[in-house]
Amino acid sequence: KIYHFGSKLGQGGFGVVYEATHIETQTKWAIKEICRPEAGSWKVKMVEHEIDILRHVNHAHIIHLQEVYHTSKMIYLVTELCVGGELKQLLLQKKFFSEDETKHIICCLADAVDYLYKRNIVHRDLKLENILVKNAIVDNNDKIIIKVTDFGLSVQTYGLGIDHILTESCGTLTYMAPEIMSGRGYSHWCDMWSMGVIIYIMLCGEPPFVSKTKSKLLEEITEKGVTFTQSVWATVSDAAKKVLTCLLNVDPSYRMSPSQLLENPWITV
């Protein structure tokens, strides 16, 4: 017995996450407990994939994988503990984030995505639920420290370069880039669309496009484009809206890269 299991932190499609204490050092960690999927199943591929990618990355804003344990029935992933929970939960408490808070978080997120791109890794499922808050947020002055997590759907385009065309439809509908929905093939620019959706939701509390089905959502995106109708947008800078219009462009080639976003006046000024 190496760890003492504490309270349950959350549950996903793949397993349960617990807070745990390393008995010898008394350090606190998060442990994801996964029922070992059937050999050869897509679930096995996803778990192996996530472990493989997390073992090869090291970034201040990407979740740190400490250890992996295998038993005959279970797989345990020991990662750093993020006591602040999901960014989604924090947003629900606050309704929306201030522009300064949003900029700070997006700066960290863009830096993490830039790091992944330099290693030919496309996340493919960037969303508020997959961004964890490292620290406990007690009041509005607490700086939010984020960690990107859940690399089960991410893909590494080995040697083919980041522009390599992917065709598998995956991700979460609200955050899914139109080129994934249409099945026309896509590349790393799909993550920048998701980042646009994240910024939009952070600033106004609602997604830019809502529809029950993929085809209806695609129709809304291509015909309407991004709008800023909620009253809160009156208080948001034009620079922010310009960034959103750029990231939420149906044509991926018009979206900015993470490094361009980091150099954008909205972030730097």
pLDDT of 165 reads 66
pLDDT of 12 reads 74
pLDDT of 189 reads 92
Cα–Cα distance measured from residue 78 to residue 31, given in angstroms and rounded to the nearest whole number: 5
Domains and CATH numbers, the chain: 3-80 (3.30.200.20), 85-263 (1.10.510.10)
Positions of E strands within 45-87 = 65-70, 74-80, 85-86
* 125 assigned to active site: yes
Spans of the chain below 70 pLDDT = 158-165
Is there a binding annotation on residue 216?
A: no
Contact 178, 251 (CB under 8 A): no
Q: Bin 185: left if φ > 0, else alpha if -120 < ψ < 50, else beta.
A: left
User: Which one is catalytic: 52, 111, 125, 139?
Assistant: 125
pLDDT of 170 reads 75
pTM here is: 0.93
Put the strands of the sheet holding 15-22 in their side by side order.
3-11, 15-22, 28-35, 74-80, 65-70
In tens, the pLDDT along 180-196 reads 898 888 889 999 999 99
